[in-house]
């Protein structure tokens, strides 16, 4: 039986590995057009990888394809859907190499590991939803008191006057927040005694990790409910389209990646 072997074909050319013993993963439904990686996480830093390897070490020597690591003339384009994994545009520190396509490439007889940031070559397929949080100002307004909201390195307050009600104080604080935030920051909307903050500074689910604190200074007859909380409801698209031109890849340091002699490559997914 004869046939043509194509590099990076899912049902012929890829393998799956995972962090043991706390994770498990496997490739299923592999065909010439795609595959599914599924499994189970048990700790925060669990991971699964899909590997392409130049050297076929699994099949009988008489049946193995010859090693050919020249990918320089290839462009790989694929669509990916992630569930319960860290998204490609996450701002979390990569304790596991989930943001990168890792490439072990040889040049002048020396093998070097390159980390190619997949986000640079990916486009989200879908809409982002910005996270938000609500605070209600309760109690009695007292002239001279300060009401404050703070997050990250941002801190906004409003000093009540004798003519203020809780509603007017909330309105003034919301105006101060919205008018003083740089593009892509936080906007605020006042509805009676409730202020709603919407976080635009880091798209989608990234903002769900940002905490907000409410404080009162002065006589303190006012009180925030809740006193603190995190932005919530931010959604990052689960579908991404990735295009990798192996003749023009750049790694995380800005260095060009030589792809005429690649030994192996690894895509990594980690627990969200």
Is 2.60.40 the CATH number for 132-230?
yes
> According to CATH, where is 2.60.40 located in the chain?
132-230
Which of these ranges, 33-47, 169-183, 211-225, 233-247, has the smallest mean pLDDT?
A: 169-183
Phi, psi of 118 (to 5 degrees): -65, -30
Burial class of residue 67 in the structure, from the number of CB atoms within 10 Å of its CB (0-12 exposed, 13-18 middle, 19+ buried): exposed
Higher pLDDT among residues 185 and 184, named by residue = 185
pTM: predicted TM-score of the whole model, two decimal places: 0.84
Residue 183 confidence (pLDDT): 53
* pLDDT (tens digit per residue) in 229-263: 999 999 999 999 999 999 999 999 999 999 999 99
Residue 182 confidence (pLDDT): 62
Measured CA to CA, the distance from residue 170 to residue 260 in angstroms comes to 62
Q: Label residue 219 by pLDDT band (50, 70, 90).
A: very high
Residue 1 confidence (pLDDT): 52
Query: What 3-state DSSP class applies to 136?
Result: strand
Give the CA distances from residue 136 to residues 3, 133, 151, 239, in Å, rounded to whole numbers and listed in that order. Answer: 69, 10, 16, 36
What mean pLDDT comes out for the span 180-205?
87
Which of these ranges, 2-11, 119-128, 135-144, 210-219, has the smallest mean pLDDT?
A: 2-11
Residue 57 confidence (pLDDT): 80
Question: CA dihedral in degrees (103, 107, 111, 112; nearest 10)?
Answer: -50
Residue 9 confidence (pLDDT): 87
Phi, psi of 105 (to 5 degrees): -125, 145
């Amino acid at each position: 039986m004869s046939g043509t072997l194509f590099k990076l074909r899912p049902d012929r050319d890829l393998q799956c590995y995972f962090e043991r013993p706390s994770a498990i993963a496997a490739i299923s439904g592999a065909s010439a057009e795609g595959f599914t990686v599924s499994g189970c996480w048990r700790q925060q830093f669990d991971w699964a990888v899909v590997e392409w390897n130049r050297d076929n070490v699994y099949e009988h020597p008489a049946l193995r394809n010859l090693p050919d690591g020249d990918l320089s003339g290839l462009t790989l384009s694929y669509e990916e859907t992630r569930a319960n994994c860290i998204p490609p545009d996450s701002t979390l520190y990569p304790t596991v190499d989930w943001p990168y396509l890792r490439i072990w490439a040889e040049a002048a007889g020396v093998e070097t590991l390159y980390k190619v940031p997949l986000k640079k070559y990916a486009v989200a397929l879908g809409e982002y939803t910005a996270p938000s949080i609500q605070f209600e100002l309760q109690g009695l307004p007292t002239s001279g008191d300060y009401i404050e909201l703070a997050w990250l390195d941002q801190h906004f307050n409003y000093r009540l006057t004798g003519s203020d009600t809780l509603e007017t104080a909330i309105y003034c604080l919301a105006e101060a927040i919205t008018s003083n935030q740089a593009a892509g920051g936080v906007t605020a909307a006042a509805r009676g005694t409730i202020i709603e903050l919407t976080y635009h500074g880091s798209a989608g689910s990234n903002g769900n990790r940002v905490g907000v604190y409410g404080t009162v200074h002065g006589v303190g007859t006012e009180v925030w409910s809740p006193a603190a909380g995190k932005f919530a409801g931010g959604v990052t698209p689960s579908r991404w389209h990735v295009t990798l031109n192996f003749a023009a890849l750049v790694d995380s340091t800005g260095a060009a990646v030589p792809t005429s002699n690649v030994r192996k490559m690894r895509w990594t997914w980690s627990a969200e």
